[in-house]
Amino acid sequence: MIYFFKVVRAEMVKQHKNYFHNKSIYISLFFWPMLVFLSTYYGYKPFNMDKIRNHITYLNSSNVILFVLIGYVSMSFFRSLVQSAWRFSSERIFGTLELIYLTPGNRLAFVLGNAISSVFESVWLFVVFSGVILYIKGNAFNANIASALFGIMLVIVLSLLWGMLLNSLFLYSRDTGFLFTILEEPMEIFAGIKVPTAVFPLWAKGISYVFPLTYVAEFLRRALLNSESIYELRSFILASIIIGSIMLSLTIFFLKTGEAHAKETGSMSLF
C-alpha cells in the first residue's frame, strides 16, 4: 500500500511540473469557468422563475445564482479531468507511457495520481470565486450541513473515478481528441448544468443518466438549497455507488487490456 501511494505521489508531482509550472495558466483556470458561469446565469434572467418552479419547487429568483453556481463548481471538477485525459496522449507521444509499462509501478496508482493532480490544481481558483459568491448570497441558502459535506465527498470521489476511467480509455490510441469533443460540451448540457434535467424530454433524461455529474450536482443542489437529509437523498447515493463501481471496474479492465493491446500491436518503440 505504501508503494501504491508513492506511485500516486510521483505521478502527481510529474503532472504538476508538466502542466502547472507557469503561473499564468492559473489566470485562464480562473477566468474561463467564471465567464461560462456568468453567461449561463444571465441566460436564466429572462425566464419566469414561477414556471420553472413547476418542475423544481425549491428554485426561485433569489437562489437561482446559487443553483447555477453549485452546478458549475461540480462541473469544474469533471471538466478538469476530461481535459487532463485529453492531454494524456502526450504520455504516448513522448514515450513516458512506454517507460511506465517497463516498470513494476501499479497502473491504477498511475491514473489515480494523474486524476488527483489535475482535479485539485484546476479547480481551486474557481472554488475561491464561488466561496465569495456563496458568502454574498448566504441568506438564500437552505442547507443541510451533513448532506452538503457528504455531497462534496461524492463530487470528489466520482470526479476522480471519472478521470481514472477517461485516462484508461486514452491508453488505446494517440488520436483520442474526439472523446474530448464528445464528453466536454454534452456533459455540461445533459448533466443539468446549463439546463435543469427536470425540464428535459425523456430522451435527454436518458442520456443524462450516463454522466455521474448528473447525480452529484443534483445531490448538492438539494442539500444546499432545499435542506434535504442524507436519507431523503438516498436514491442519489445509491446511483452514485453503482455508477462509481462501474467506472472503477471499467478502469481496471481498460488498464489491463490497453497495456496488453499496446504490447501486442506496438512497434520496437511500443507506439
268 pLDDT exceeds 50?
no
Phi (first) and psi of residue 188, to 5 degrees: -65, -40
Nearest to 190 by CA among 210, 218, 166, 162: 210
The fraction of the chain above a pLDDT of 70, given in percent, is 69
Distance from C-alpha of 12 to C-alpha of 4, rounded to nearest angstrom? 13
Distance from C-alpha of 194 to C-alpha of 260, rounded to nearest angstrom? 40
Distance from C-alpha of 161 to C-alpha of 223, rounded to nearest angstrom? 22
Nearest to 254 by CA among 179, 173, 168, 176: 168
242 pLDDT exceeds 90?
yes
Per-position DSSP letters for 63-101, written without gaps between them? THHHHHHHHHHHHHHHHHHHHHHHHTHHHHHTTHHHHHH
pLDDT at 172: 67
Total Cβ atoms within 10 A of residue 132: 9
143 pLDDT exceeds 60?
yes
Distance from C-alpha of 6 to C-alpha of 259, rounded to nearest angstrom? 21
Average pLDDT over all residues of the chain: 78
pLDDT at 99: 67
pLDDT at 176: 62
**What would the mean pLDDT of 124-129 be, rounded to a whole number?**
67
pLDDT category at 249 given cuts 50, 70, 90 is very high
DSSP letter, residue 200? S
Total Cβ atoms within 10 A of residue 98: 15
49 pLDDT exceeds 90?
no
pLDDT digits (tens, 9 = 90+) for 58-96: 887 778 888 888 888 888 888 777 766 666 666 666 666
pLDDT at 25: 65
pLDDT at 90: 67
**What would the mean pLDDT of 31-40 be, rounded to a whole number?**
71
184 pLDDT exceeds 90?
no
Top pLDDT among 125 and 219 is at 219
pLDDT-wise least confident of 134-138, 170-174, 259-263: 170-174
pLDDT at 150: 94
233 pLDDT exceeds 90?
yes
Among the residues of 88-233, which ranges form H helices? 89-93, 96-101, 107-136, 145-169, 177-190, 202-208, 212-225
pLDDT digits (tens, 9 = 90+) for 212-228: 999 999 999 999 888 89
pLDDT at 229: 92
Per-position DSSP letters for 5-68, written without gaps between them? HHHHHHHHHHHHHHHS-STTHHHHHHHHHHHHHHHHHHHHTTS-HHHHTTT-TT--TTTHHHHH
Compute, in degrees rounded to 10, the torsion defined by CA atoms 67, 71, 73, 79: -160
**What would the mean pLDDT of 98-124 be, rounded to a whole number?**
73
171 pLDDT exceeds 80?
no
Distance from C-alpha of 217 to C-alpha of 188, rounded to nearest angstrom? 11
Distance from C-alpha of 271 to C-alpha of 269, rounded to nearest angstrom? 6
**What would the mean pLDDT of 31-35 be, rounded to a whole number?**
70
174 pLDDT exceeds 80?
no
Phi (first) and psi of residue 172, to 5 degrees: -80, -25
**What would the mean pLDDT of 216-244 be, rounded to a whole number?**
92
237 pLDDT exceeds 80?
yes
